[in-house]
């Protein structure tokens, strides 16, 4: 079996948000009557990107949030609900890539799990700079198809005018790197499976599963789901694949898990 050679997890800090957005869980985010006056928990909604080195090229998976989030997200109003305010200078995506000695021209591909503003927030910095930009075909169709400047956390200012290549279905994209269609969160959300020689399989769920507490079984949904029955089916699809491949499953916004991983620039997976 073909494998990738090296994988770097880029910890890009965190947004802050009401946990209820991420986890509709009675007793954790949703309060019982005995706790009805207890404030809701605000959670560090961590954001990460991944660099994968393969014999077929080097790719970046997701681009995190932009430095100008507060003004760029202003039309959506969501900057008040998901402020990207737990981030230090060395955690922004551009800083993380610099720490690895990687400039835009050193990447062959930039692949987006979906086009929400906390995943596509920096994709424009790679447009025309060398890498091919890739997204799922159903995500592209949806993200370019609605009327107006934004829809939820899809914000055309992030990606309008950019030429994306598309992938469709479940595909092996590079040696040891496969994309798995996992719709529900958005119409074209993808997860990524990476096979490594020593580590074995890793599955990056992106927003198909926000956090370990949501994964179950049984799975617990979130407040932002485009299609709930598709979402449940995608979680079970990921679970089957993870079990078959004995994979480490890395969730999209799980602070505790992210901080337990080997992270760039100090650590990597091989």
- Pairwise CA distance, residues 85 & 153, whole Å: 17
100 vs 233, beta carbon nearer Zn ion = 233
Minimum distance from residue 44 beta carbon to Zn ion (Å): 16
Q: Minimal distance in Å, beta carbon 55 to Zn ion?
A: 31
Separation of alpha carbons 206 and 56, rounded Å: 23
* Burial tier of 151 (Cβ tally within 10 Å: 0-12, 13-18, 19+): middle
Query: Which of 7, 61, 49, 58 has its CA nearest to residue 197?
Result: 7
Q: Which CB sits closer to Zn ion, 114 or 237?
A: 114
Task: Compare residues 195 and 207 and give the one whose CB is closer to Zn ion.
Answer: 207
What CA–CA distance (Å, rounded) separates 169 from 135?
11
Dihedral sign for Cα atoms in the order 113, 116, 122, 123: positive
Nearest approach in angstroms of CB 267 to Zn ion is 26
- Cβ pair 58, 173 in contact under 8 A: no
Q: Which is nearer to Zn ion, 174 or 182 (CB)?
A: 182
Q: From the CB of 138, what's the least distance to Zn ion, in Å?
A: 14
Q: Which two tokens stand for residue 200?
A: 């074995």
Query: At closest approach, how far in Å is the CB of 21 from Zn ion?
Result: 10
Minimum CB separation of residue 62 from Zn ion in Å reads: 10
Which residue, 102 or 115, has its beta carbon nearer to Zn ion?
A: 115
Helix, strand, coil shares of the chain, percent, nearest 5, are 25, 30, 45
Of 143 and 196, which has the nearer Cβ to Zn ion? Answer: 143
Residue 182 class from Cβ within 10 Å (0-12 exposed, 13-18 middle, 19+ buried)?
buried
Residues in touch with Zn ion (CB under 5 A): 116, 207
């Amino acid at each position: 079996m073909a494998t990738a050679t090296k994988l770097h997890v880029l910890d890009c800090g965190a947004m802050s948000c009401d946990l209820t957005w991420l986890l509709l869980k009675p007793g954790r985010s949703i309060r019982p009557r005995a706790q009805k006056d207890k404030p809701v928990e605000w959670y560090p909604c961590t954001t990460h990107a991944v660099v994968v080195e393969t014999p077929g090229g080097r790719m970046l998976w997701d681009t995190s949030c932009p430095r100008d989030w507060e003004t760029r997200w202003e039309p959506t109003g969501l900057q008040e609900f998901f402020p990207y305010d737990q981030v230090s200078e060395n955690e922004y995506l551009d800083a993380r890539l610099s720490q690895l000695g990687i400039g835009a021209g050193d990447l062959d591909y930039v692949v987006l799990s979906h086009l929400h503003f906390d995943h596509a927030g920096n994709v424009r910095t790679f447009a025309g700079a060398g890498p091919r930009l890739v997204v799922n075909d159903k995500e592209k169709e949806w993200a370019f198809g609605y009327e107006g400047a934004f829809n939820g956390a899809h914000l055309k200012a992030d990606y309008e005018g950019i030429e994306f290549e598309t992938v469709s279905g479940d595909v092996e994209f590079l040696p040891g790197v496969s994309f798995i269609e996992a719709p529900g969160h958005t119409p074209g959300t993808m997860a990524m499976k990476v096979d490594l020689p020593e580590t074995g399989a890793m599955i990056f769920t992106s927003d198909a599963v926000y956090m370990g507490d949501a994964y179950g079984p049984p799975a617990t949904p979130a407040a932002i789901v485009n299609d709930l029955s598709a979402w449940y089916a995608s979680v079970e699809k990921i679970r089957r694949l993870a079990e078959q491949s004995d994979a480490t499953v890395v969730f999209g916004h799980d602070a505790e898990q992210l901080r337990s991983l080997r992270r760039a620039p100090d650590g990597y997976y091989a």
